[in-house]
Structure 1
Amino acid sequence: MPTYNSANTVEKSIQSVLGQSYQDFELLIIDDCSSDATCSIIEQMTDQRIQLIQLPKNSGSAIARNTGIQAATGRYIAFLDSDDSWHPEKLARQHTFMAANNIGFSFTAYYRNETSGKQRLVPAPAEMTYKKLLRNTIIGCLTVMIDCTIVGTFSMPNIRTRQDTATWLAILKTGIHAYGLNEGLAYYEVQANTLSANKTKMLGQTWKMYREQEKLTYIQTVYNFTGYVYQAIKKRIS
């Protein structure tokens, strides 16, 4: 769980992890040099499974997540931002799904909680490949679970945005497929400051990811980018 100045939301996110029916976990919280009461709130929690790691300087979510990945001791790694939350059965249902089917990379459906108060379900397709994901936005970081014994060592590229998608693409490029559990097991909180100007920035970062991270040709980038935009719009209005 990367966190930065999330004093208003981090406790709810943590409680959604502590409230899991599957209790055999460690919760690594990596604070990216917060200047508010975030760390104080975390330090007041007495559950021994919580480990707070404080970065010495603000480094961005990729560094924070990689710090957590490197510190993790479990076979499975899951991700949750400090303003989102999980359904109480998230870990149990996903772990059972992966163990029963020998899956290395899974994701689930999730709910988008809009600032208007509306809640939209983003479904999870049964299977996602590298080529399919290039034209899609369907894998929510807060739903991903990785079995490191199958996927192996991985890390997120140190880019300011889209590092999660770039990571999934890197894993899928090796031939591993991602499998979806079509159950709404997580809750993504849409923040007001991400609804306007940041949309344009995100589009630009996605284009840059195609060209610089994935080394796609211009024609390939145009083809995949149009699919990405279509799926992004569909996710928000369906």
Structure 2
Amino acid sequence: MVDGMVSIIMPSWNTANFISESIQCVIDQTYTKWELFIVDDCSTDNTEEVVASFKDTRIKYFKNEKNSGAALTRNKAMREAQGEWVAFLDSDDLWMPDKLEKQIAFMNTHGYNFSYHEYEKIDEQDKPLNIYVSGPDLINKHKMYNYDYIGQLTMMYSAKHFGLIQIKDIKKNNDYAIRLQLYKKDGTECHLLKENLAKYRVRKKSISHDKLIKKLKSHYDLFHLCDEKPALIAFWYACWNMWYGLNKKRKYEKTSNS
């Protein structure tokens, strides 16, 4: 494990139209001690060619032998990580240039092992949707089971403290599953850095546009299959979680004119 190093996990599947910009925002970071693991889940577009155009030796590219889904793809990248810190950036999202520098300083200053920050939403053409997303100042285990307030592109954790994180093969909510694993290992608290340091891209085929029943099923699978809760308890958590999701939108998602 390399002190001060940030291992950045970037799964990819058919994001050739976006991944160049995502890689570039990592290269543009004011904090330069990082390694970027891109794991391509058998893309059928020219993702591999786009990644190959970047000659930075800090970028490590892997390609799955067969399509494996986001959970196993992230697991593969996390097994390769050598950094003291682990951060996540999907291959269509963006970071502000000082994201790593400010988040690491925030965690080192306060002695935190787990943190997240605020972000904004953009569309597929990089246009702002004027939606700003925040969250609770502190998220303990109880709050994390109520709802996943943490955007995947905003979280960072100490690999020294938590060790290797691996999750079960679930098709949706696998980013939430990572955070539940952190809480199961330690019962830690996640702290909010109150600054917008990222841009989350809303795409037309995103899971966020799934219908209600599909969302309920994906939450049930998370708690039952991945978190190993009994069926009735998993169903209760799934329903409770979705209710909290509505409350989260009202409380923590603000438009530019609200």
Q: What TM-score comes out, normalization by structure 1 length?
A: 0.91
For 1:140, the equivalent position in structure 2 comes to 151
Contiguous gaps of at least 5 residues in structure 2: 1-9, 254-258
In structure 2, the CA distance between the partners of 1:139 and 1:114, relative to structure 1 (3 Å rule), is same
CA–CA distance in structure 1, aligned partners of residues 228 and 79 of structure 2: 27
Partner of 2:245: 232
Instruction: Please point out which of 84, 87, 93 is paired with 2:102.
Output: 93
Aligned residue for 2:7?
none
Q: 1:78 to 1:196 in 2, by over 3 A?
A: closer
Q: Matched residues in 1 for 2:130 and 2:142: separation? A: 29
One-letter code aligned to 1:205: S
Counterpart of 1:36 (choices 45, 51, 61) is 45
Conserved? CA contact 2:22–2:93, under 8 Å:
yes
Query: Which amino acid letter does the alignment assign opposite residue 196 of structure 2?
Result: G
- The change in CA–CA distance for 1:215 and 1:157 in structure 2 (over 3 A counts) is closer
Following TM superposition, by how much is the alpha carbon of 1:221 offset from its aligned partner in structure 2, in angstroms? 4.3
CA distance in 1, matches of 2:63, 2:241: 35
Q: Which residue of 2 aligns with 1:208?
A: 221
Partners in 2 of 1:231 and 1:161 — Cα distance?
Answer: 18
Percent identity over paired residues: 31
SS at match of 1:6: coil
Specify the alignment match of 1:182 in structure 2: 194
CA contact (8 A) 2:121 2:128 kept: no
Offset of 1:189 from its aligned partner? 0.7
Unaligned ranges ≥5, structure 1? none
8 Å CA contact retained: 1:129, 1:178: yes
CA–CA separation in structure 2 for the residues paired with 1:90 and 1:124: 17
Q: CA deviation at 1:220?
A: 4.4
Structural RMSD (CA): 2.1
How far does residue 212 in structure 1 lie from its aligned partner after superposition? 3.0
TM (normalized to structure 2)?
A: 0.84
How many residues align? The count is 238
Cα deviation 1:46-95 (Å, max 9, x = unaligned): 11211111111111111111111111111111011001111111101110
Structure with greater proportional strand content: 2
* Contact 1:135-1:226 within 8 A present in 2 as well: no
